[in-house]
A = this chain, B = another copy of it.
Amino acid sequence: MILVNGIETGLLDARDRGLAYGDGIFRTLLLRGGKPKAWADQYAKIVTDCARLNLSAPKQAILETDLACIASDMPDCVVKIIVTRGSGLRGYAVAANLVESRTITISSPIPIYPRSHTERGIIARVCDLRLGRQPALAGVKHLNRLENVLARSEWDGPEIAEGILLDIGGKVVGGTMSNLFIVRGNALLTPNLSACGVCGATRERILASGPELGLKTGIDEFELKDLYAADALMLCNSVIGVWQIRTLAHQSWQMHPATQLIRTLLEADFD
């Protein structure tokens, strides 16, 4: 099901600035039993990301009406919410009358991943593409995602589940579609995203849950060598929850107890 400004249609104005310039943001979340997972966190992210682009955020009640409509059609699904600046004339300048954003809501079946991804961890690779550094857009889940597309096109086949991205300065950023956590003793750390990368809602949830997890969470800078030296590496997003990395290049890890702790935390969001 696809809704554009709440109306069921698969079609969009071809002059939408989301197409022309990637002028918009998106979020991806899970619906289970008709209930959107971590919705308060997701909506808060929509608001902050829209503010970063000076885009008017859709009202929470309007998005909730869309989600209810999708839930009645498909109670268990992945929902992608896209917010664009709407249709514009030619040119980068935003017309003064372009005050209302446009919302596109798309449901998809929940992907089925191998059980080994959660039970034994995944195989990841280090991507060749290095992310550019752009503080003005860093952290925002905006629609300019060609770097992710190029990085994801570096491998094929189901053996490799995710790619790790570094930036042009050699700092670790995260996965192509996920955020990264590094376990080091009692610390659960995630890369600083002030120059590039996307701040996922699940990353924020984990960062805020140190006391519940009995771990010291924080943000730091990492190079590739720091990943190989970690006690464990984990990838998270709203759809996969958390996957531990079993193998990255020459290095392998056993399952770490923190992975199951985090999974339990994230699953509790449905209670």
Contacts and interface: CB of A to CB of B under 8 A. Distances in A.
Interface stretch (A9-17, A38-46, A180-188): A9-17
A145 to B, nearest CB: 4
Interface stretch (A62-70, A86-94, A257-265): A86-94
Contacts of A89: 108
Given A132-B133, A153-B94, A177-B91, A18 B15 contact: no
Contacts of A53: 146, 149-150
Contact of A19 (B18, B78, B91): B18
A139 interface: no
Given A21-B146, A22-B143, A92 B132 contact: no
Contacts of A91: 152, 177
Among A80, A92, A93, A150, the one with the most B-chain Cβ atoms within 10 Å of its Cβ is A92
A10 B82 CA distance: 19
Among A20, A78, A84, A176, the one with the most B-chain Cβ atoms within 10 Å of its Cβ is A20
Contacts of A151: 92
Nearest to A28: B90
Contacts of A137: 132, 146-147, 150
Given A90-B108, A134-B147, A2 B14 contact: yes
20 contacts: A4-B14, A11-B13, A14-B106, A16-B19, A18-B19, A19-B82, A19-B84, A19-B143, A22-B143, A23-B145, A28-B90, A92-B149, A92-B177, A93-B152, A132-B196, A133-B133, A134-B147, A136-B147, A142-B146, A143-B146
